[in-house]
């Protein structure tokens, strides 16, 4: 007779994890973070960073305060995550276009279309940045500024190349700064219904800018 304890036919094997599908806890955590991010974007856009309390974010996301801090760390960290996400998209696209083999005029048109499209798609995040970016302090503020500077640098390279090739009349940084500033303002007047599409807006802006700086004698 066997001794006490459960009888087994052999060593117990752990159930294999299903490939391509994260554990339930991981999926739940990702869903919770997504709800928190969406709630924060809405509230920061509506009320401003300083006018929004952590409890409000939790209420709108359906997350208790303790769990909220577990997922985001702090309200400033949440602001950083929101702004970094869309600025990284702009940076990636600006890099891709700038490094392509297209001529400078084509690159400039593509940069304008990319920027307008992302501004429209992420207009709430852009509005938050323009109003509340100074709420980011220390390393986070510096990192975000470095990303914005990189975007501007890619634009400047395209404009510099156009001037060097004799197809643009100027490569003055004032032009680059002014164009980016004008494009960022799209977020405040764009309306998704009843107005022009992002591509139509980009075409109008591109034509206006290029008419002013293309060197017709080149």
Domain shared by 174 and 187, yes or no? yes
Are 175 and 213 in contact, with CB atoms under 8 Å apart? yes
Residues 145, 190, single domain; the answer is yes
Which pLDDT score, from 0 to 100, does residue 27 have? 60
Q: Residues 87, 144: contact at Cβ < 8 Å?
A: yes
Residue 23 in this model has a pLDDT that exceeds 60: no
Q: Flag whether 37 is in a domain.
A: yes
> Quick one: 46 exposed, middle or buried, by C-beta within 10 A (0-12, 13-18, 19+)?
exposed
> Does 181 lie in the same domain as 97?
yes
Which residues neighbour 120 within 8 Å (Cβ) at sequence distance 6 or greater? 186, 187, 190, 192, 198, 201
Residue 166 lies in a domain: yes
- Where residue 105 sits, what CATH number does that domain have? 1.10.357.10
Q: Which domain holds residue 156?
A: 75-213
Q: Which of 33, 51, 73 is the last residue of a domain?
A: 73
Mean pLDDT of 4-15: 39
**pLDDT, the chain, mean:** 85
106, 28: one domain? no
102 lies in the same domain as 189: yes
Q: How many domains does the chain have?
A: 2
Give tens-digit pLDDT for 28-85: 878 888 899 999 999 999 999 999 999 899 999 988 877 777 887 789 999 999 999 9
Q: Which of 36, 57, 73 is the last residue of a domain?
A: 73
In this structure, what DSSP letter does residue 2 have? Answer: -
**pTM greater than 0.85:** no
> For residue 33, which of 51, 55, 57, 15 has the smallest C-alpha distance?
57
**Is residue 207 domain-shared with residue 118, that is, in the same domain?**
yes
What's the average model confidence in pLDDT over 87-116? 96
Q: How is residue 62 annotated by DSSP? A: T
Q: Domain containing 48 — which CATH number?
A: 1.10.10.60
Could you tell me if 163 and 97 lie in one domain? yes
């Amino acid at each position: 007779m066997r001794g006490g304890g459960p009888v087994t036919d052999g060593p117990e094997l752990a159930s294999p994890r299903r490939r391509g599908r994260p554990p339930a806890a991981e999926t739940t955590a990702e869903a919770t973070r997504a709800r928190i991010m969406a709630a924060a974007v809405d509230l920061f856009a509506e009320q401003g960073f300083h006018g929004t309390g952590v409890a409000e974010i939790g209420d709108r996301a359906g997350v208790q305060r303790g769990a909220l801090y577990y997922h985001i760390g702090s309200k400033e960290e949440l602001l950083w995550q929101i702004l970094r996400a869309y600025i990284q998209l702009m940076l990636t696209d600006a890099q891709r276009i700038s490094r392509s083999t297209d001529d400078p005029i084509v690159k400039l048109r593509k940069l304008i279309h990319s920027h307008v499209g992302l501004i429209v798609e992420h207009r709430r995040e852009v509005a938050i940045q323009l109003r509340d970016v100074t709420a980011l302090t220390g390393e986070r503020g510096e990192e975000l500024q470095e990303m914005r500077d990189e975007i501007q640098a890619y634009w400047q390279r395209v404009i510099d190349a156009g001037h060097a090739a004799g197809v643009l009349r100027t490569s003055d940084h004032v032009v680059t700064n002014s164009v980016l500033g004008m494009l960022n303002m799209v977020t405040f007047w764009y309306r998704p219904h009843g107005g022009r599409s992002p591509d139509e807006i980009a075409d109008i802006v591109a034509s206006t800018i290029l008419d002013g700086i293309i060197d017709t004698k080149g």
